[in-house]
Amino acid sequence: MGVLGLVTLLACLSTGGRGKIFTRCELAQELQENGMDGYEGYSLANWVCLAFYESGFDTAAVGANADGSTDYGIFQINSGWWCQDAQSPSENLCHVRCQDLLNPDIKDDINCAKRVVQDPQGMEAWDDWKNHCEKQDLTEWIESCNL
């Protein structure tokens, strides 16, 4: 194996151990336990739908934006406003390091998402929610989860 292959393998292993890909029902349970069902008027199904379209339920998801900011974690929290990273200036309104949003413990992600929806935009702050979840029948997102 060449040096490039070894570096790639090590990079995959180092990021793979930090994140978690939730199942739909695992996430629904975790969100319910953390008070997300009905938070700011949004059902549990809205939160599960949002997480699916933002990250595929992957806590280690990272997405780059055209404006130079980056989105982090299961809810793709933006570094320009909500969390602090080393690449871009931030308001850091959630008072959290962006890197802390990439691990399997999503309590800080949940707390930050709660902060985001308190702003006037609510869930409309997430384009994927607007495009895929808003005004949709979302019952399938929590169906058969035994909540």
Residue 8 inside a domain? The answer is: no
Q: Would the pLDDT of 11 be above 60? A: no
Residue 15 inside a domain? The answer is: no
Q: Note the pTM of the prediction, 2 decimals.
A: 0.87
Q: Would the pLDDT of 131 be above 90? A: yes
Residue 13 inside a domain? The answer is: no
Q: What is the pLDDT of residues 39-86, one digit of tens each?
A: 999 999 999 999 999 999 999 999 999 999 999 999 999 999 999 999
CATH number at residue 120: 1.10.530.10
Domain count, the chain: 1
Separation CA 146–CA 18 (nearest Å)? 28
Show the domain range for 67.
20-141
Cross-strand partners of 70: 64
Asked if 82 contacts 115 with a C-beta cutoff of 8 angstroms, the reply is: yes
Q: Would the pLDDT of 16 be above 90? A: no
Q: Would the pLDDT of 134 be above 60? A: yes
Residues marked active site are found at 54
